[in-house]
Structure 1
Amino acid sequence: MDKIGRNDICSCGSGQKYKKCCLAKDDLSASRRREEEHAIQTALSWLEERYPEEVGAVVHYDFMDEPDEERTEAIDDLSPRLEKAVSVNIGEWLLADAELDINGKDVKAHNLILGKGGPPLTAHGRNWLQELANRPLSLYEVREVTKGKGLILADMVRPDHPPVEIREKAATNFLTVWDTFGARLVWQDDSFVMSGAVYPMERETALDCLSEIKSELEHEEGDPALDRYITTSIIIDYWLDSILETKPLPELVDASTGDKLFLTTDHYRVTDWQEFERILSEQDDVDGDRDEGWNRFVELEDGRCRSSASMVQKGSDSLEVFCRTPRLADEAREWLGNIARDTIRYKIREVVDPRSEKAQESAKPLPEPDIPKHVQRQIIHQYLAKHYETWIEIPLGALKGKSPREAVKDKKLRPAVVELLKSIDQLEARRIEQTGGEPFDVTFLWERLGLKR
């Protein structure tokens, strides 16, 4: 996001210039944030200097949950962005929740820092560290986003708590309604803010995390300290799993053969172009010419045709034959050997996984459509309106074969209907981030199903 100028209109919506509106408040917040960051770094440096072994042990065993060799390698291979996120989250966890083993006794790290003999801190710095220790980590759902201003978050672990308004500008640029993440909310001046450590999760992961938290808390007697430990540990575990797991790429299959899709290019040397062109022109299942290239096709039962091989001249004496799978390439090579005889010579084969970086890099960008963007958006809105008009009557696998209208009457399936509606909201918000325009409003679906957002 570009930095707002002093004479620009303030982003808060007041209509005033920034210097006469929120500049002083933002400067004060920035100054306090620097003071808070200094307190955090001072406290962490002090801890690591005086208790290096204890800090290393508690991070390894409690935060990282004693990772095996494979998991340790995954941690080492994290991107710089995720590596920084892990570092920030570990640091805040040390200051707010960690217990160090000091001479056989578990001692809260923040008690060591804020107690007698702790590091020198400003009054505001001490208050900030104390506030971090007072506020538990929890799982939150975004209920509302006001760009450039803040968020309204609902505590998923404590649904009886009312949603909270958060003063947070940066996150409003990328968060959308129903996004989920772990965070610590801290009271600052006259409102809540996010402390700094964030544990973002896909919604499905967050719901699994919430389910495990509830399951574990059901077996406890309501000890606040134990509840906090359980909730914090599970959120950290699920977040670490989500960033460390290696997700297999989806397997792509050729629709016509059922074979795995591997883009296969055979390279040939052409010794007699004139004869080769004549031979191809006599084939009933080949279209094209030397300038545009040739396609060998297969006629389907419904009368349509599907390409089985594409042939393109490359240079004065080279031919490339492209097929979607190695088996199709083998068939094309045998076919060419039978009809072209001595006019071509096979040289080498190149096989590329379409999911690979090489395939992505070589892919040509899609051309901009001729239809104006406002017309494209209008067409999309018309399509979505038609689609969602009948959506509530369509049986869905996610609802055990029932339609949303039927499922909403079932107490066990009603939460699944709500989740589907939330996923639609999220998809629309993400689509608009990429394409611009206005999101398609599905409020009418909630209303027709008798549900509250």
Structure 2
Amino acid sequence: MRNDISDLLTFISQDDLWFGRLQEVVAEHLMPALEEFDLDYDDLPEVLGEPWPGVLWGCGFEDFLSRQYEDGNIVDLYLKRRGWNEPAANREYFGALRDTPVSLYEVSEVKPGTSMVLKDLVGDAKPVTVLEGSATQSLKQWDRIVVRVISENDVHVISGALLAFSREAVALLLDGLSTVLNADKNDKLSLASNQILKCAPIFTSAWLFTALPRALSKELPEFTNADGEDIMFHDLRFPFETGVRQKEVSLCLSELNCFAADGARCWTWLAPHGSKAPRENDGLVLDSQTDGRTVLGHIELKGKSLLINVNSSARADRVRHLVMKAAGQYLKQPLTTIRTVEQMMAEEQDELDLEDADEIPPEIARQIVREHMDRHYRETLDAPIPALGGKSPNQAVRSKEGRVKVVEWLKKLENNSAMHQNEAIEEYDFGWMWAELGLQEYRK
């Protein structure tokens, strides 16, 4: 069978010296993270699920095959003693594993079940087309993976141990490689094969140190708004004083420059022009923009009440003060309902369950999503983006450094969309944004 390593594994397990060395190398890959999180290898199936324990062990095993000891290399020894019993394809594959370093690759041009293009992000290798049937079924455009790319009979394939890297894991890996190799962390890494071969455990550790906290934590990520305030949804209802009409309240609210009319009885509360850019945050930022300004809340006159929706306690206090100052003579003190993110999600799920019987036809839903995303991203091109240093994409592309950041930002948008469970979002074409920003050449 092609690339069958069973006889090689048997050979290693029957030699106490080489088997001990294999265990030591696997420990180099796994133990720093396992000790940090007080876990044993046997805990990994429950924590990470299958097939990750086997894949992680494979990372250590492939590294072991490349190790040179005073008395030689295990692949050389095996081929010398048992190579006559192996097919030519296996002998070539073992030799390639011995000489090929693991590296971090960016995925593009995915053809499910057939091939993909891999660009080396830390080594000095050129982009290559890899023939691959299984992994290409799940990988998406701009995914980052750690694997060995092996040349076989004028084509390229990947080894068995593949780890998909999150953005957080990529950052941790690059930081670790820069530290170990004493490289400037602001410079782009371009390492030779012999340098990367020595750093293989760092790749596995970076993946584990980011995957284990997520797996061990059952809590939702932290949510904040653009001002860095914890998300807590507030619904304020201001009852009218006796005899007050909507027109009287409306005239007062229209005098507020920060309230932009959104119909006869609705307003959008907007941050001032030129206000500070949204803060960087380790959690998830819930933020919407219109005309380059952050949306702070929504206001509506309904019946004999003024209704206001905001997403933090601080914003609730601010808008209460604004409204009472402008129209306090017409309004009673507000009644406030407060809901957490978890409660909102539960309510939305209940609503979705009730709507299942009247589900929107897929083609209509796809059109609605596409139009919504078109509008949203059209506005985003002129909105300040934290990842771009507070500049809008249209501003950032004017400099060389800014273009690099915008390309990474676009890749992240496209990658997140491709992994979405909603088919309409997954299929959304970001090509127009690359063209609009003049960055088509970087999408290849």
**2:164 alignment partner in structure 1:** 200
Matched residue type, 2:138: F
C-alpha distance in 2 between matches for 1:41 and 1:251: 46
Unaligned runs of 5+ in 1: 1-33, 258-298, 307-352
Query: Is the CA contact 1:157–1:214 (under 8 Å) kept in the aligned structure 2?
Result: no
Larger displacement relative to structure 2 (136-145 or 69-78): 69-78
Q: Deviations over 1:172-192 (max 9, x none)?
A: 211111000101111223310
C-alpha distance in 2 between matches for 1:130 and 1:219: 30
Larger displacement relative to structure 2 (234-243 or 86-95): 86-95
> By how many angstroms is 1:442 displaced?
1.9
Count of aligned residue pairs for this structure pair = 323
SS of 1:178's equivalent in the other structure is coil
Find the partner of 2:80 among 92, 104, 115.
115
C-alpha distance in 2 between matches for 1:162 and 1:424: 25
Q: 1:354 to 1:197 in 2, by over 3 A?
A: same
C-alpha distance in 1 between matches for 2:359 and 2:193: 61
**1:238 alignment partner in structure 2:** 206
Q: Deviations over 1:394-420 (max 9, x none)?
A: 112222221111122244443321121
**2:10 alignment partner in structure 1:** 45
Query: Is the CA contact 1:183–1:199 (under 8 Å) kept in the aligned structure 2?
Result: yes
| Aligned 1:237-386 pairs, distance under 5 A | 237-245=205-213, 246-247=216-217, 248-250=219-221, 254-256=232-234, 303-304=306-307, 365=353, 367-368=355-356, 369-386=358-375
Query: Is the CA contact 1:43–1:113 (under 8 Å) kept in the aligned structure 2?
Result: yes
**1:85 alignment partner in structure 2:** 55
Query: Is the CA contact 1:131–1:186 (under 8 Å) kept in the aligned structure 2?
Result: yes
**2:118 alignment partner in structure 1:** 153
Matched residue type, 2:51: R
> By how many angstroms is 1:227 displaced?
3.7
**2:272 alignment partner in structure 1:** none
SS of 1:132's equivalent in the other structure is helix
Q: Which has the larger radius of gyration?
A: 1
Matched residue type, 2:7: T
> By how many angstroms is 1:109 displaced?
2.8
Q: 1:223 to 1:184 in 2, by over 3 A?
A: closer
Q: Deviations over 1:33-56 (max 9, x none)?
A: x3312xx12112211220233332
Find the partner of 1:430 among 419, 422, 441.
419
Q: 1:218 to 1:366 in 2, by over 3 A?
A: farther
**2:177 alignment partner in structure 1:** 213
Find the partner of 2:95 among 121, 130, 142.
130
C-alpha distance in 2 between matches for 1:429 and 1:420: 14
SS of 2:146's equivalent in the other structure is strand
Q: Deviations over 1:310-349 (max 9, x none)?
A: xxxxxxxxxxxxxxxxxxxxxxxxxxxxxxxxxxxxxxxx
> By how many angstroms is 1:120 displaced?
4.5
**2:429 alignment partner in structure 1:** 441
Higher relative contact order (CA 8 A, sep 6+): 2
Query: Is the CA contact 1:166–1:191 (under 8 Å) kept in the aligned structure 2?
Result: yes
Q: Is 1:59 the counterpart of 2:26 in the alignment?
A: yes
SS of 1:136's equivalent in the other structure is coil
C-alpha distance in 2 between matches for 1:408 and 1:110: 50
**1:313 alignment partner in structure 2:** none
C-alpha distance in 2 between matches for 1:239 and 1:212: 12
SS of 1:409's equivalent in the other structure is coil
SS of 1:54's equivalent in the other structure is helix
TM-score by length of 2: 0.62
Find the partner of 1:168 among 110, 123, 132.
132
C-alpha distance in 1 between matches for 2:126 and 2:425: 32
Matched residue type, 2:127: P
C-alpha distance in 2 between matches for 1:156 and 1:300: 59
**2:3 alignment partner in structure 1:** 36
Unaligned runs of 5+ in 2: 185-189, 224-230, 236-301, 310-340
Query: Is the CA contact 1:58–1:99 (under 8 Å) kept in the aligned structure 2?
Result: no
Q: 1:302 to 1:140 in 2, by over 3 A?
A: farther
Identity value in percent:
26
RMSD: 3.9
**1:68 alignment partner in structure 2:** 35
> By how many angstroms is 1:255 displaced?
2.6
C-alpha distance in 2 between matches for 1:111 and 1:133: 9
Matched residue type, 1:249: L
**1:286 alignment partner in structure 2:** none
**1:187 alignment partner in structure 2:** 151
Q: Deviations over 1:195-239 (max 9, x none)?
A: 111021113422442354355445499775234212x23212112
**1:16 alignment partner in structure 2:** none
**2:384 alignment partner in structure 1:** 395
